């Protein structure tokens, strides 16, 4: 009797351990959409991003669908939040001109944390720059904000991103005259030059150039953020708008 039971279990267990058919694509799409909808209910800022930023919701749902195709329904909400946050960091530039100064300060803190890590993490550097190589490498993998050590940053990044999006709603853009903006950027360049010499100035010049090596671009962004963070509070938000806003 025991031997027959063991044989029966051996026959059943393989079928239990792995699915015999691929997930139904229609059902998978519906499950991904449902998870996105749930995250939008929990995170109003992400609901606004999905409504206001072209392609945001489609990219969010598609990346989540790919995750679920590999992982099933495990960690779906965590993956949904991580994907939305990563997409939101790229979309946040559209809100800086209208966001509150304190919200921009909070985002600056988080960006500096990420860029400091990126100095010794080439993969993170490429992800933060949103390079074509990084987008290709990330296909089929768990969202980067679910992986260690980045997952520990997710709550603070969500909070900072939420502040940027929510504080921008219904507010006019805050811009400076071109001459004043140029004066501020010259001030920052001078500070970077004082601290890092000609190399630092070269990094500033090339950080927007997609043909420059990612490591040099990340170094330039990190040095720029460092110089901005040293400025008086009344200037920091304006500088962030000038350099990173749309």
Q: Do both 54 and 110 map to the same domain?
A: yes
* Those residues with Cβ within 8 angstroms of residue 143's Cβ, 6 or more apart along the chain or in another chain: 63, 67, 79, 82, 83, 86
Give me the pLDDT at residue 133, please. 79
Is 60 exceeded by the pLDDT of residue 17? no
Q: Do both 129 and 81 map to the same domain?
A: yes
Among 134, 149, 168, residue at a domain's last position:
168
pLDDT digits (tens, 9 = 90+) for 105-155: 999 999 999 999 999 999 999 999 988 878 776 766 789 999 999 999 999
What is the C-alpha separation between 209 and 198, in angstroms, rounded? 18
Which range of residues forms the domain containing residue 186?
Answer: 178-244
Q: Residue 22 — pLDDT band, cuts 50, 70, 90?
A: low
Q: Do both 163 and 182 map to the same domain?
A: no
pLDDT digits (tens, 9 = 90+) for 212-223: 999 999 999 999
Q: Do both 221 and 144 map to the same domain?
A: no
Among 168, 188, 220, residue at a domain's last position:
168
Q: Do both 164 and 198 map to the same domain?
A: no
Is 60 exceeded by the pLDDT of residue 84? yes
Element (H, E) at 228: helix 214-229
- Tell me the range of 12-26, 87-101, 205-219 where mean pLDDT is highest: 87-101
Average pLDDT, the chain: 88
Among 123, 142, 168, residue at a domain's last position:
168
Give me the pLDDT at residue 140, please. 64
CA angle, 139 then 165 then 209, to 5°: 55
What is the C-alpha separation between 53 and 226, in angstroms, rounded? 29
The pTM (predicted TM-score) of the whole model is 0.86
């Amino acid at each position: 009797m025991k031997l027959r039971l063991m044989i029966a279990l051996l026959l059943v267990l393989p079928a239990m351990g792995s699915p015999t058919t691929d997930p139904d694509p229609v059902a998978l799409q519906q499950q991904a959409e449902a998870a996105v909808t749930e995250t939008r209910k929990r995170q109003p800022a992400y609901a606004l991003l999905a409504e206001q930023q072209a392609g945001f919701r489609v990219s969010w749902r598609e990346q989540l669908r790919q995750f679920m195709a590999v992982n099933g329904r495990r960690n779906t909400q965590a993956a949904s939040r991580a994907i939305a946050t990563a997409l939101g960091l790229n979309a946040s530039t559209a809100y800086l001109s209208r966001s509150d100064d304190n919200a921009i300060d909070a985002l600056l803190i988080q960006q500096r944390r990420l860029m400091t890590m990126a100095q010794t993490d080439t993969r993170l550097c490429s992800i933060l720059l949103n390079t074509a190589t990084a987008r290709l490498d990330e296909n089929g993998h768990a969202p980067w904000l679910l992986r260690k050590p980045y997952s520990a940053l997710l709550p603070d990044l969500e909070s900072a991103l939420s502040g940027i999006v929510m504080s921008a709603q219904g507010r006019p853009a805050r811009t400076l005259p071109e001459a004043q903006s140029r004066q501020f950027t010259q001030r920052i360049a001078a500070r970077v030059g004082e601290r890092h010499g000609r190399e630092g100035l070269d990094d500033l010049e090339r950080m927007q150039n997609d043909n420059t090596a990612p490591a040099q671009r990340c170094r330039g962004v990190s040095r720029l953020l460092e110089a901005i963070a040293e400025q008086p509070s009344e200037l920091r938000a304006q500088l962030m708008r000038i350099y990173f806003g749309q």
